[in-house]
Structure 1
């Protein structure tokens, strides 16, 4: 049986995943090779450090972890750098505290979300005010007076937001896209930053990015996905193709296109992989 992990270990894995994501060249995002979207890597480094304790707080519910992480982040850097990361990593962190397979624990965590989780997550979203959030006809998070069950709200948004969808499908994108891409990259002998790039590109080319869709519409998000798949086809990451990826990075940033959801899922993939390895599990 997989053993539960102490909160300090969970916090260390979370920080490491956040920092590893920054070290990788991820077209369109903030990374060690280039800033973007009025943000720099230092903002994200600070965010990872201050959000780790609430994210990994022993016994804390999912909503409390998310809200605590967002509050700590805003106190440190004054902007939203990690709402999506916290939404994805908080259920994984809580699941890591239980015995048994991680993804079975994750299903139990998602199934056990209650009204307090919803209130805290909605408060975190209002504080972070992510770009392109808009208004929803039902279960709108900006309505502080009406807080629906969290899974109902996530189900309502699942068709337009991959992070919301993760709450309804047991984080299928991690097991179906991210973790296989990471395993394949390692099997090819890629260095650590390039295995992370491989994960990011897997998400970028497999599914339309929700952050782009919120700000620019679903058609533009799908166009970016198709363009990325065509432009990056045949790219050999073993050759560390900095010039090609930086050229695409500059293009996306000139167009104001930030595949932030792909980056969020990349962090969650690295975090889940570390948790699985520490617990002696394989997907």
Structure 2
């Protein structure tokens, strides 16, 4: 795929995700947090565009040489995107999104057919290096986001952990695999992105064609939340609280979610409840962004047809 197109898809996914209203428990177009606002996320989505395009270009340049995919430098590119975001906003707005979109961008640049995207992305992740793992740790520290890799031996905040990654030849895929038991984003990145490709993307595409972008964004978010306990909530408040939130999302979907009047009323109450109790389904938001991006990548043929008109 054209790297310029891929970079734009990453930006579009980022700004559409945060614009979904009312996306319960998150910043959206009518709701800010005390430490970050809607515009911060818009800035972040635009700021990563150049790095995402460069990532796709690296994939494109190496599309015929899979044996060299380890040189793409996915970890470094994640760090570059997080660093650029940090220049524009004060808080971590998009680490999870960047971690998901970067390998998608690299794979999209390398494939001719959308059908090869998922498998190519997974192979690129498996081809990562220990230096990629170090760059990922540095990106997490820049974003000031804890939780991934926080074990006694491989704490993300420890310089000795980064040395151990290099000394023991632990690549980025492997270190994420270690975290996958308790971190759903790590699981996503090491298991061919099942939430993105099997739940989020097909649903977003279907709802968008029938109801429009905002309804598709919110319904996708709510559906993912109803199926996967949110890691950010479970990390802060425990697994049982994350399951309670999941069950509430499930009950709202049973009433139609954002697609019905009753569902919309319940959704607004749910949004306020999550905000009042500090329950932020941030990992669900990340998966929503990756789902939106994959849906737009799937429109590549339509994009090319319009270019040729």
* Fold conserved between structures, TM > 0.5: yes
Q: Which residue, 250, 254, 260 being the options, matches 1:229?
A: 250
Question: What runs of 5+ residues in structure 1 fail to find an aligned partner?
Answer: none
Equivalent residues in 2 for 1:32-43 (5 A)?
32-36=29-33, 38-43=35-40
Q: Which residue of 2 aligns with 1:82?
A: 94
Q: Which residue, 155, 169, 192 being the options, matches 2:177?
A: 155
Q: Which residue, 98, 109, 114 being the options, matches 2:129?
A: 114
Q: Which residue, 140, 143, 149 being the options, matches 1:128?
A: 143
RMSD: 2.0
Determine if the alignment matches structure 1 residue 63 to structure 2 residue 75: yes
Q: Which residue of 2 aligns with 1:198?
A: 219
Cα deviation for residue 232 of structure 1 reads 4.0
After superposition, the Cα gap between the structure-2 partners of 1:156 and 1:134, relative to the gap in structure 1 and judged at 3 Å, is: closer
Cα deviations by residue, 1:47-84 (Å, 9 ceiling, x for unpaired): 11112212321325211221011111111112100000
Q: Which residue of 2 aligns with 1:45?
A: 42
Aligned equivalents of 1:123, 1:40: Cα separation in 2: 25
After superposition, the Cα gap between the structure-2 partners of 1:222 and 1:138, relative to the gap in structure 1 and judged at 3 Å, is: farther
Q: Higher helix proportion, which one? A: 2
Question: What runs of 5+ residues in structure 2 fail to find an aligned partner?
Answer: 59-71, 303-309
Q: Which residue, 90, 100, 104 being the options, matches 2:119?
A: 104
Aligned equivalents of 2:96, 2:204: Cα separation in 1: 20
Cα deviation for residue 36 of structure 1 reads 2.8
Greater shift, 177-186 or 243-252, is seen at 177-186
Q: Which residue of 1 aligns with 2:61?
A: none
Q: Is the 8 A contact 1:186 1:195 kept in 2?
A: yes
Larger radius of gyration: 2
Cα deviation for residue 244 of structure 1 reads 2.8
Moved over 6 A (4+): none
Give the SS at the match of 1:80: coil
Q: Is the 8 A contact 2:75 2:135 kept in 1?
A: yes
Cα deviations by residue, 1:175-233 (Å, 9 ceiling, x for unpaired): 2211232244246x112110111110111100100111111122211121122212442
Aligned equivalents of 1:96, 1:134: Cα separation in 2: 27
Aligned equivalents of 2:24, 2:172: Cα separation in 1: 32
